[in-house]
A and B are shown apart, each in its own frame.
Chain A
Amino acid sequence: MTTPVVVTGIGVLAPNGLGAADYWAATLKGHNGIGRITRFDPSPYPARLAGEVPGFVAREHLPSRLIPQTDHMTRLALVAAEWALADAGVRPDELAEFEMGVITASASGGFEFGQNELRNLWSKGSRYVSAYQSFAWFYAVNTGQISIRHGMRGPGSVVVSDQAGGLDAVGQARRQIRNGSKLIVSGGVDGSICPWGWVAHLATGRLSTSDEPDRAYLPFDTEARGHVPGEGGALLILEDAEAARIRGARSVYGEIAGYGATFDPKPGSDRERGPRRAIELALTDAAMEPGEIDVVFADAAAMPERDRIEAAAITAVFGPRAVPVTAPKTMVGRLCSGAASLDIAAALLSIRDGVVPPTTNVSLSVEYELDLVLTKPRASVVRAALVVACGHGGFNSAVVVRAPR
């Protein structure tokens, strides 16, 4: 049985907007959320820009019991989950606790919390390490905290596949709904903008060292030179479509119609990389033809080789300049596991409003045969969108979202 799985709520915390409405308005205006790092002094590091979520004061949003035991990114995730549930009109205490679950993605866990406790350990001794270090750093911590807070005792898991994670979590959530769950909180909210996390980002060799916020992250541009990391993301309320109807859900943003995931061949292999097959698998899973897709949200690595692979994959499936392509993440940076679920949110809002958000700051290289939506949003009927995400380590995933029927 393949029951449709629909999105009924969206919770967003992004570098250019707190809440889905603010994020979407800022994104359509092309508002840049990238800036010089403020959370620590970035001056000794070769890369100094990030997409930080502005104006987030945890104590204004969360009870004090949760503050000592949570990393910054977990606080963002708890608020995103709360906002998504409110948006969906869901009162978890009115639903069966074992029919609700939480499946999130995480790239690194609570790095900032972990850094502080490791500093305490080595500078003061083991007696100074927080008891909450036992779980606050851990990949699954967002899933656990959301599950406990809202009494969701069904499936609970975490997917670790870097940038692809935001899609892989949604794919897994859909699988669990097809297995009988009624509602899953899914997606990713991530971030590790602290010195320890920054060193890990630098080690990938993929960070832009530009100091100009509007010139640092330029996918598909001849000046592409790596990316800017960011924090935040989106959590989504996924429901069995029939259960949502019975519950009286007030809005349905769209359906998670298709999902595909592939893994790259080993480095140095001359076999094709995985993005094209991930896209084709997602389309096949959705039983849709390429011509039925109205916009592609690109992974947009901004590393020339990876841009080439992604552009070739899109062109191979859809044809040269045959489908609008966009990467609004140029405004917020790459949010690790938060990036792709934020793109799903943007895709659903594109469907709702009939508009494709722009890829800002980029001048498209003549090398790529893409219809990249540049500078300004493009009015367009959007019935279905494809979201592509490629994670460090060879993960490639794609999701098709479709207008509600």
Chain B
Amino acid sequence: MIEFEVTIEDLKRILQEGAGADENVDLGGDILDTEFEKLGYDSLALLETAARVTREFDITFDDDAASVAVTPRGLLKVVNDGTSE
């Protein structure tokens, strides 16, 4: 059961709001499987993003797993069904 499904578009917006965006990266493109490292986000950026997702969607998930997610797809998986990729 998924009551609040967080989409890639939600994630892009929240990344931008919480951690900004690297000027050499086009967040508007297909980034689902691009590594966060290549997108210019470190573990702290993911921790901040996870905190914002938690607040906005009022959901709980494993923060530690979120902060070590490798790609947006991996993070969305942690966020939406609570299991790491």
Contacts and interface: CB of A to CB of B under 8 A. Distances in A.
Contact of B51 (A65, A69, A127): A127
A95 B51 CA distance: 39
B23 A128 contact: no
B60 to A, nearest CB: 10
B48 A63 contact: no
A223 B50 CA distance: 56
B48 A65 contact: no
Contacts of A134: 44
Contact of B21 (A64, A69, A131): A64
A65 B16 CA distance: 8
B31 interface: no
A65 B47 contact: no
Q: For chain B, which range describes its interface: under 10, 10 to 19, 20 to 34, or 35 or more residues?
A: 10 to 19
Q: Main SS of the interface on chain B? A: helix
B31 to A, nearest CB: 15
Contacts of B19: 65, 68-69
Q: For chain A, which range describes its interface: under 10, 10 to 19, 20 to 34, or 35 or more residues?
A: 10 to 19
Contacts of B45: 131
Contact of A65 (B17, B22, B54, B55): B22
Contacts of B16: 64
B44 A65 contact: no
Contacts of A128: 55
Contact of A64 (B23, B44, B48): B23
B22 A131 contact: no
A63 B23 contact: yes
Which one of A64, A68, A127, A131 has the highest number of Cβ atoms from chain B below 10 Å of its Cβ?
A131
Contacts of A130: 48, 51
Contacts of A98: none
Interface string B16-48: 111111110000000000000000100011011
Contacts of A127: 51, 54-55
26 contacts: A63-B20, A63-B23, A64-B20, A64-B21, A64-B23, A65-B19, A65-B20, A65-B21, A65-B22, A65-B40, A66-B20, A67-B20, A68-B18, A68-B20, A68-B48, A69-B19, A127-B51, A127-B54, A127-B55, A129-B51, A130-B48, A130-B51, A131-B45, A132-B44, A132-B48, A134-B44
Interface of B: 16-23, 40, 44-45, 47-48, 51, 54-55
